[in-house]
Amino acid sequence: MQKVIIANWKMNPSTLKEAERLFNNTIKAVSGVKKIGIVICPPFVYLQSLKSLLSAKSHQPKASLGGQNLFWEDTGAYTGEISGEMLYSVGAKYVIVGHSERRAKGENNLEVNKKIKTAVKSGLTPIVCIGENLRDENHEYLNFIKKQIEECLDKIPKDFLQKIIIAYEPIWAIGKGALPATAEEFREMKIFIKKVLSDKFKTQTMGNVRIIYGGSVDEKNVQDFIENGQADGFLVGRASLNPKKFGEIIKICEALNN
């Protein structure tokens, strides 16, 4: 199964010129990569221009573009929203849904559920973010994660599972100065997530569902997460704004890809 590395630029950089420079430098930094799926999720306003740059690059790697969010309706009086079809039409193939920064502004599991359905219907691969605020000694955070999964994937057809990426991103591991989860903590959570999915969808075929890690990812910890955490990839925030660091992350994953 191909590992996937996703760059979440968030609300960066400030201008189109800077975005094009960052994109070009990122592509140069990962030249020669063939085994790893690369997805770059810039702010919406840059997607069209970056699609043009991507189309002009016939060499490896064949990176894809993604959106950072979407709305669950196709059209209508929804000021400021972006539909799945709009994203797809400007070159996006993926979309992040349920990111903790959006949940902190009030987004709930029901809304994430509707966004997942819309994304798949629009031809997009949803990157579904889940993660707890903190880890308590009584392990209640496991029930929190289970609820997120069950509600976010409520009434999702079993066949959709192969079209979804689960990004485990513990909130306590996000942000400057935060400590990432350990590879062992992620491996245990990956096993737990697969168990919840298996029980919910009444299937044992979880092998093709990619579960990736996000939360203070950098070039210093990805090897441990792959070798000891069995991560299927990464959702990279701050480090994705540094082409050299992001390139190192990709090349480490490429070298370890089985």
pLDDT tens digit string along 206-239?
Answer: 668 999 999 999 999 999 999 999 999 999 999 9
Band the pLDDT of 57: cuts 50, 70, 90: low
Mean pLDDT on 23-29: 94
* pLDDT at residue 118 tops 60: yes
Residue 219 is predicted with a pLDDT of 95
Tally of structural domains, the chain: 1
pLDDT band at 59 (very low <50, low <70, confident <90, very high): low
Q: What stretch of H or E contains 167? A: strand 165-168
Strands 125-130 and 37-41: unpaired
Q: What is the pLDDT of residue 228?
A: 97
Choosing from 20, 81, 85, 99, which is the catalytic residue?
Answer: 99
pLDDT digits (tens, 9 = 90+) for 150-174: 999 999 998 888 899 999 999 999 8
pLDDT at 203: 76
**Active-site residue flag, 99:** yes
Instruction: Name the region of 51 (left: φ>0; alpha: ψ -120 to 50; beta: rest).
Output: alpha
The residue segments making up the domain with residue 86 are 4-256
Residues 40-49: pLDDT tens digits? 999 999 999 9
Please report, for residues 133, 139, 178, the alpha-carbon distance to residue 136 in angstroms, rounded to integers and kept in the order given: 10, 5, 17
- Is 70 exceeded by the pLDDT of residue 60? no
> Is residue 137 predicted with pLDDT exceeding 90?
no
Rounded to 10 degrees, the C-alpha dihedral 20/68/103/133 comes to -70
The enclosing domain of 110 has a CATH number of 3.20.20.70
Is the per-residue pLDDT at 56 higher than 90? no
- Does residue 140 carry a catalytic annotation? no
Which H helix or E strand runs over 172? Answer: none
Q: Tell me if the pTM is above 0.75.
A: yes
Q: How far is 246 from 175, CA to CA, in rounded Å?
A: 17
Please pick, among 101, 132, 169, 248, the residue that the annotation labels catalytic: 169
